[in-house]
Structure 1
Amino acid sequence: MRILEETISQSILSQGSNLTLAGEASAPSFSNWLFDCHGLLHNVTLILASLLFVLYLGFQARQSFQKLSHGRSYIMIAYYGCLWLVTVLNLAWSCAQAWECTAGKEMAWNLLSLFTTSGMLFLEVSLVAFLLQGNYASGLEALTKTFVVSGLVVGLDILLKAIYVFGFGIPLFIDSNDYTRHVKWDLWVVHRLLLTAVYGFIFVMYHSRWRERLPARPAFYKYVTVMFLLNAISLFACALTGNGAGFGLWLYGATIVCYHALYLPLLYITFLADFFQEDGLHLENVYYSEMRDAGFFDADWE
Structure 2
Amino acid sequence: MRGLKEALKVVAVEAAEVPFSSSSNESTAASAGGNYGGGWLWKCHGIWHSLFLIIPSVLFLLYLASQAKKSVSKLLNGRSHIIIAYYAFLWIVTLLNLLWCSLLAWECTPGKEVAWSIISLFTTSGMLFLEVSLMAFLLQGNYASGQEALTRTFGISGLIVGIDIFLKGIYTFGFGIPLFIDNNEESHRVKWGLWVVHKLLLTGVYGFIFFLYRSRWRERLPARPAFYNYVTIMFCLNALALFACALAANGAGFGLWLNEITTVCYHAFYLPLLYITFLSDFFQEEDLNLENVYYSEMKDAGFFDADWE
Q: TM-score, normalised by structure 2?
A: 0.87
Residue in 2 that maps onto 1:205: 212
Residue in 2 that maps onto 1:166: 173
Indicate how the Cα distance of structure 1 residues 74 and 230 shifts in structure 2: closer, same or farther if over 3 A, else same: same
C-alpha separation between the residues in 2 aligned to 1:85 and 1:136? 22
Contact kept in structure 2, 1:179 and 1:241, CA below 8 Å: no
Cα distance, 1:209 vs structure 2? 2.3
C-alpha separation between the residues in 2 aligned to 1:300 and 1:198? 27
Residue in 2 that maps onto 1:91: 98
C-alpha separation between the residues in 1 aligned to 2:117 and 2:298? 43
Q: Write out aligned runs for 1:104-253 (5 A).
A: 104-134=111-141, 137-253=144-260
The letter of the residue matching 1:27 is G
Residue in 1 that maps onto 2:89: 82
**3-state SS of paired residue (2:82):** helix
Cα distance, 1:176 vs structure 2? 3.0
Number of matched pairs: 295
Contact kept in structure 2, 1:38 and 1:176, CA below 8 Å: no
Q: TM-score, normalised by structure 1?
A: 0.89
Q: Which residues of structure 2 form unaligned runs of 5+?
A: 1-9
Cα distance, 1:207 vs structure 2? 1.4
Cα distance, 1:17 vs structure 2? 9.6
C-alpha separation between the residues in 1 aligned to 2:71 and 2:188? 45
Compare CA radii of gyration and give the structure with the larger one.
Answer: 2
Cα distance, 1:300 vs structure 2? 6.0
Residue in 2 that maps onto 1:34: 41
Indicate how the Cα distance of structure 1 residues 281 and 142 shifts in structure 2: closer, same or farther if over 3 A, else same: closer
C-alpha separation between the residues in 1 aligned to 2:300 and 2:140? 22
The letter of the residue matching 2:225 is P
The letter of the residue matching 1:125 is V
Query: Which one is further off, 51-60 or 207-216?
Result: 207-216
Indicate how the Cα distance of structure 1 residues 238 and 126 shifts in structure 2: closer, same or farther if over 3 A, else same: same
Contact kept in structure 2, 1:179 and 1:246, CA below 8 Å: no
Indicate how the Cα distance of structure 1 residues 89 and 159 shifts in structure 2: closer, same or farther if over 3 A, else same: same
Q: State, as a whole percentage, how many aligned pairs show the same letter.
A: 68
C-alpha separation between the residues in 1 aligned to 2:232 and 2:158? 24
Contact kept in structure 2, 1:122 and 1:151, CA below 8 Å: yes
